[in-house]
Structure 1
């Protein structure tokens, strides 16, 4: 690729990351906490993917996620001890009405799954996968309520604390990257971001914001 094209691509990448990007869980009550691979951080990212993968407005899904965090459900013990009725009420408060009952069940199943199979810590899942993305994917999909889109959303965020997952961009954001002239070569993007997995996650979240806010022209015209 000619140097001018590389420079243009790099400028667009930095604009997406810096102007539209956000850290994983950055719009939740966990935003001010250090971004490290604690059991609660990984569990929160799984819940985030589970909630946001349903065809429901982004605002409602984010509000619902915030309520789940405020209820302390990113703590595996608290989620495990919660009742179906309690989880249903938290989801109702978030406005998550269409998928409320099924999601309350899925959250209960999630807690039981993590306790039984991974000793309460999903970091053990990554260890079982030997840190390899292609082996991590089917293990994550064993969680009820986690389909293909949810796996992609989870990888978008978890690469920030599980660097072996990086570089990763979900299919919808990959299409946005092509629309704004960045292209689909995510290794090139990763290099432009100094192979920083946290920056990669900010970039992907930036692409999502560009798509949701219909700001493609702001990047294309850079």
Structure 2
């Protein structure tokens, strides 16, 4: 294992790593577990992040939805289309608010069990939720591996490409070993790669 790769992995994790649901009241480690509302929050997070809107607006919208308790399946189920549209608008998410409000219908009960803990099967089942495609499913897997350890190690395809470009490579098992085979750290690292890519900070890592 290259010492340079290990140093780059550590730099991504320590300088750019982000908790699942970063920027929301659910992001603190004590609150992150496999409760249905946490998993649903991660789906909402993925659904918004897959839209072609700014990074800043994405974070604002996700925070607004969680503040409205839409990660609670009872709250979501009892909300109307107009309710969801208004919350999205409050979050500044105007361009796609009607479509997204409709897509927030859905339930993920027993998804992991149905998939037998296999990432590709989870991805296929998740895409049955209206509005979730490959990108949203991969963003979800980045996060949910922190509470569903059988999903780890996982990095979405765009971030894995970024890892290759900055000299870390694409060997997930090697990266996972550097991270002590810790699914929570793997999730932070995957999100850190997303930050590097979105902020165009590849040069910072390449210099290691």
Tell me the TM-score normalised to structure 1 length.
0.91
| Residue equivalent to 1:149 | 135
Tell me the TM-score normalised to structure 2 length.
0.96
The count of corresponding residues between Structure 1 and Structure 2 is: 207
Residue 12 of structure 1: which of 5, 8, 12 is its match?
A: 8
In the TM superposition, what whole-angstrom CA distance separates every residue of 1:129-168 from its partner, at most 9, and x where no partner exists? 1111122111111000100100000000001111111111
| Residue equivalent to 1:26 | 22
| Residue equivalent to 1:86 | 83
Q: After TM superposition, what 4+ stretches of structure 1 lie above 6 angstroms from structure 2?
A: none
1:67 aligns with 2:64: yes
- Please identify the structure whose Cα radius of gyration is greater: 1
Any stretches of 5+ residues in structure 2 without a counterpart?
Answer: none
In the TM superposition, what whole-angstrom CA distance separates every residue of 1:67-107 from its partner, at most 9, and x where no partner exists? 00000101000010011111101100111111100111111
1:201-220 superposed matches below 5 A: 201-220=187-206
1:1-222 superposed matches below 5 A: 6-32=2-28, 33-107=30-104, 109-110=105-106, 114=107, 122=108, 124-222=110-208
What CA distance in whole angstroms lies between the structure 2 residues aligned with 1:35 and 1:67?
18
* Shift, 1:29, TM fit: 2.1
Q: Tell me the secondary structure at the aligned position of residue 130 of structure 1.
A: coil
What CA distance in whole angstroms lies between the structure 2 residues aligned with 1:210 and 1:216?
6
* Shift, 1:123, TM fit: 5.1
What CA distance in whole angstroms lies between the structure 2 residues aligned with 1:15 and 1:88?
39
What CA distance in whole angstroms lies between the structure 1 residues aligned with 2:194 and 2:93?
21
* Shift, 1:34, TM fit: 2.2
What CA distance in whole angstroms lies between the structure 1 residues aligned with 2:158 and 2:90?
29
What CA distance in whole angstroms lies between the structure 1 residues aligned with 2:62 and 2:39?
14
What CA distance in whole angstroms lies between the structure 2 residues aligned with 1:206 and 1:37?
22
What CA distance in whole angstroms lies between the structure 2 residues aligned with 1:125 and 1:171?
22
Any stretches of 5+ residues in structure 1 without a counterpart?
Answer: 115-121
